[in-house]
Chain A
């Protein structure tokens, strides 16, 4: 008998064979009498053993078990509630609830602060835009595009550059008329290009860093204008940077003309400036903007700026100028003229620089630049004056900006006058 037969025998005794297997095993039993006898013997033994029946446990046996089972069941009911809550909290639904709670907390406590922080620049931008609308010229006059106004870097560089001019030169400015022209190129040359370049580079780096940190969008579009300003600076300071066309707003020709070359630092530019004779492209109505010409600046209340206190108040008010850029620009022009009247040329420049910086994104800077250009023109720095006039045209994005155009013409006339050969001295009477 094999081991397989043994196992089949046990299965047969305990009825664990299938019907087919049982039939086959019975056939095997018929053939193998010894196996059949063994199976019969074991069946008899098993039959006898089954006489010993299973006994019933006493009734009291389960009472103690059930008493403890009920106690455990009560505890497990409490625990199951806790477990369900815990599983819920740690499960996907709990995660969602937790995330929702975090979101609510953020929404209630954090978001308002962030919104308030982020809202400030947005509000400023809106203020600038609103200011630009306020400064809209009469119908048909184009206005400045926001991207174009990003020429702030350029102008600021110009401001820094111009700020290096000597302050002690007497000047008289009367509503845009050139009263006096004194070339200051020699004086600037005495300062040396290195110092100027270093200062300009440092100032430019700081400004660029400031601009990059600025949360306001759209400033990146000012890159071409920044390039132009660098070129201008290089040309003015003699570092050899080449100017590039600003290219924005369809003013490429003008910007190209404004770009200086390294080969001619601090040289007055050839007359682009010939622009008056040039046919002006028709400006788009959406860009309508005409900064109020300096000549029209109110002069009736100029006495109000007589004392320094009034000036300080005006400067303080200028901090809030974003709400009304046009008024701010007007006030700054008045303040600068007052300083000039008092002979404080440097202070006047600083006022204009501050104003230009504060109006960095507003077309009203054009007015400031015109005023600064007149200041430099009156002090004989024709090159700087021309750049400011050009910058005013760029910022205004309007070639027909009358004040800037007028300033350019005045500069051209002054240049022509300075280039004209001095009249021959009358022969001395012998």
Chain B
């Protein structure tokens, strides 16, 4: 980042390749929308580019980057709630889609690949729904830890809460996931 501040574009390219996947997955699991995650990831890195001069060496880049991503995602979620769009968890009305949600359909449409079996596809849909079912606070902690590999201490800095709070949120998130999976018939060892 320091090299990019001095005008080295290649340094930023390395930075982008290193963190692009984690940021995208964080946004994707937070927003539960692939296109929105694309836009969000792009916007986050553009913010990094535009605000590179404000970055100081004392701050860890990952912390700064995920703070930007988190804020962007929270704004996106807030706008989405204002628009009163149909909830992904809301059950679709209709005989054909009885018992399925919009999230299930989205996950199903976007995750289907020829080489994956139907069972696997079903499981992935359920897991995506499980993450979506987490509260925002639990979700961000779980996603940052699982998909971005951030330690709890750094997550606490990004979220702005004590580390113990982060761990507690993680504990509750795991309990919630366990219950969700059990509810959806996903038993450990069957995967």
Contact = CB atoms under 8 A, between A and B. Distances in A.
B is a partner of A: yes
A307 interface: no
Contact of A51 (B41, B127, B170, B178): B127
Contacts of A6: 167-168, 171
A427 interface: no
A121 to B, nearest CB: 59
Interface string A10-47: 11011010000000000000000000000001101111
Given A57-B20, A61-B24, A48 B46 contact: no
Given A7-B164, A10-B170, A48-B181, A76 B12 contact: no
Contacts of B20: 57, 61-62
A42 B22 CA distance: 24
Contacts of A58: 38
Contact of A45 (B52, B168, B181): B181
B147 A54 contact: yes
Interface size class of B (residues with CB under 8 A): 35 or more
Interface stretch (A65-73, A196-204, A274-282, A347-355): A65-73
Nearest to A65: B45
Given A9-B171, A69-B4, A50 B17 contact: no
Contact of B24 (A13, A45, A55, A80): A55
B4, B38, B42, B128 interface centre (most CB from chain A within 10 Å): B42
B50 interface: yes
A49 interface: yes
Contact of A52 (B6, B127, B178): B127
A301 B5 CA distance: 92
B31 interface: no
B174 A46 contact: yes
B107 to A, nearest CB: 10
A69 B21 contact: no
B8 to A, nearest CB: 6
Nearest to A58: B38
Mostly, the A contact residues are helix
Interface string B18-50: 001110110010000000001001100110011
Nearest to A54: B25
Given A11-B167, A48-B127, A55-B24, A69 B12 contact: yes
A72 B42 CA distance: 16
B9 A70 contact: yes
A65 B13 CA distance: 9
A77 interface: yes
B127 A49 contact: yes
A72 B128 CA distance: 37
Interface string B57-93: 0000000000000000000000000000000000000
B131 interface: yes
Contacts of B94: none
B174 A68 contact: no
A3 B127 CA distance: 28
B28 A73 contact: no
Given A55-B28, A57-B20, A66-B9, A49 B52 contact: no
B6 A76 contact: yes
Interface residues of A, number: 39
B25 to A, nearest CB: 4
A69 B191 contact: no
A56 interface: yes
A332 to B, nearest CB: 81
A51, A56, A57, A64 interface centre (most CB from chain B within 10 Å): A57
Interface string B170-183: 11001101100100
Interface string A134-147: 00000000000000
A69 B13 contact: yes
A415 B33 CA distance: 131
A64 B25 CA distance: 19
B174 A52 contact: no
B151 interface: yes
Contacts of B112: none
A72 B52 CA distance: 9
B188 A48 contact: yes
A7 B175 CA distance: 14
A404 B50 CA distance: 96
Task: Give me the 7 closest cross-chain CB pairs, A-B, nearest first.
Answer: A44-B188, A77-B7, A52-B127, A57-B24, A73-B9, A45-B178, A10-B167
Given A14-B170, A61-B24, A68-B46, 20 more contacts: A7-B164, A10-B167, A11-B167, A42-B174, A48-B123, A48-B188, A49-B177, A51-B123, A52-B127, A52-B131, A55-B24, A61-B20, A62-B17, A69-B13, A72-B52, A73-B8, A73-B12, A76-B7, A77-B6, A80-B5
